[in-house]
Structure 1
Amino acid sequence: MEKIVRWVKPVFPFVKMNSDGSVGSNMAGMGGIIRNFKGDVLIAFAGPLHHCKVIFAEMMGLSYGLELCYKMGFNNVAIEIDALSLIHLIRKNTMSDPEFFYNIRKIKCLLDGLNFSLNHIFREGNACADFLAKKGSQINGVEEFSNTSLPQQLRGLVRLNKLDIPYIRSI
């Protein structure tokens, strides 16, 4: 069985931030991308992490992306991540995992200052952030990209999203 998955442009005055984390056998990274209502890239980022749990990599991508929103003055933010477990951790009012207490508290504090929505998107619809998280696991330091400095493969993924080309997810 198959499901159609799309990345949908945000509605003005919102920007959309997609973030992700990636963990391999001996490397980890985080990444994300912030786009406007036309689907144009405002900024993207990728960075390495020490080997960690996937949920931690996801948290780091979200946290870095939220910090960029503050830095760039984006107050209306539609957030999409492919880690449903992270959404549950953020929405819970109790903290069951002391290992991530400070990370979740930081994310909640960053969210408090925003007009935001936080939604799950399947990995296929999060392809740009997924690409950046994998790239982050292969570089030495955090890199930020403007619309004109995007890696070629990412430029293609952004174009597919802007054209509303769907992804097919096998379920």
Structure 2
Amino acid sequence: MATINDYFKDNVANLENAEVPIENNLIKWKCPMSPYVKINFDGSVSNSLAAGGFVIKNRNSKPILICAMNLGSSTINVAKALALREAPIWARRRSLTHVLVKSDSKIIIDPVCGVYEVSWNLRSIIEDIRWCASSFQDIKWGHVFKEANFVANAMAYVGLKIVNLCIWDACLPVEANLALLVDCNGSSYVKGFSL
């Protein structure tokens, strides 16, 4: 528990405008409407080691699939893009057809949506994401505040401690349980909050 608390204290910064419900400066993770599932993804870099993670949750806020991956030496943007590249691959393996993809990383979401040109080091990864996304019946993309992306943040942090890619079905590693519990309870966060 102390580990995840340290992570959130170190990584809640640089908040931007987002598509999340904000009431009196409160932010919360919002469940997708049926038939959609929601993918949240993120990346992390610590001591030159990069990791990524994502969570796929259903309309009841319950995890369907959770992933953490160690990516070796890389940049934060590449780590986030690689986490996003894995998420739709695994969603298709689960025969999911309607997907909402959300993250606090506009620098990854916007190029996937064609809002602006992608940097050269992310070009092939973004093209892979677009190709995989084309296989869904419907996929929607959006940016959220970091407070609505805590479970994905926690999974990226878990990725720093593992050797390869790890997948969990319908449960999370202990380090991410607090973040999931807050999401599942429909709790709101004050902008800038850390667990």
The alignment's TM-score, normalised by the length of structure 1, stands at 0.92
- Percent sequence identity over matched residues? 20
2:42 counterpart residue number: 20
Post-superposition Cα deviations, 1:83-103, rounded to whole Å, max 9, x if no partner, equal 011122112277452222211
Aligned equivalents of 2:158, 2:113: Cα separation in 1: 29
2:143 counterpart residue number: 120
Q: After TM superposition, list the pairs within 5 Å mapping 1:10-159 onto structure 2.
A: 10-92=32-114, 95-114=117-136, 115-148=138-171, 150-159=172-181
Task: Give SS of 2:25's match.
Answer: strand
Question: Cα gap change, 1:48/1:159 in structure 2, threshold over 3 Å: closer, same or farther?
Answer: same
2:10 counterpart residue number: none
- RMSD (Å), alpha carbons: 1.8
Q: CA deviation at 1:137?
A: 1.4
1:5 counterpart residue number: 27
Q: CA deviation at 1:80?
A: 0.6
More displaced 10-residue stretch of structure 1: 65-74 or 155-164: 155-164
Aligned equivalents of 1:170, 1:47: Cα separation in 2: 26
Question: Cα gap change, 1:12/1:153 in structure 2, threshold over 3 Å: closer, same or farther?
Answer: same
Aligned equivalents of 2:93, 2:46: Cα separation in 1: 30
Question: Cα gap change, 1:41/1:170 in structure 2, threshold over 3 Å: closer, same or farther?
Answer: closer
Letter of the 1:44 counterpart: I
Letter of the 1:154 counterpart: A
Aligned equivalents of 2:189, 2:83: Cα separation in 1: 23
Consecutive unaligned residues in structure 2, runs of 5 or more:
1-23
Aligned equivalents of 1:73, 1:168: Cα separation in 2: 36
2:184 counterpart residue number: 162
Aligned equivalents of 2:140, 2:81: Cα separation in 1: 16
Aligned equivalents of 2:142, 2:170: Cα separation in 1: 24
Letter of the 1:3 counterpart: N
Post-superposition Cα deviations, 1:88-136, rounded to whole Å, max 9, x if no partner, equal 2112277452222211110111111221111111111100000000110
Letter of the 2:102 counterpart: E
The number of equivalent residue pairs is 169
